[in-house]
Amino acid sequence: MTLLEAKKGDLLKITGISDGENKRKLLDFGFNRGMVLRVITFAPLKKTVLVALRGYVLALRAKSCALIEVTI
């Protein structure tokens, strides 16, 4: 599944990043295969997600989330 389908509070392992506009940016931010991230919360309207990884917190739009393949 992708990060888009995740629920608030989920602890997820990244299995890969699909090709897309923000791919390299996500890689630069440390979204590597095998990295664990947590979904902190969603913004109102649910389009923007707050995730924590590597000890910092990042806000991402749905479009970027759709690139992030994760498993529980």
Question: Which residues lie near another protein (CB under 8 A)?
Answer: 11, 16-17, 19, 21-30, 32-33, 35-38, 40-48, 50, 52-61, 63-64
Tokens of 25: 């940016």
Say how far residue 17 (Cα) sits from the centre of its chain. Answer: 9
The least CB distance from residue 2 to another protein, in Å, is: 16
The least CB distance from residue 23 to another protein, in Å, is: 6
The least CB distance from residue 20 to another protein, in Å, is: 9
Q: Where are the beta strands (DSSP E) in 1-72?
A: 11-17, 36-42, 48-53, 56-61, 68-71
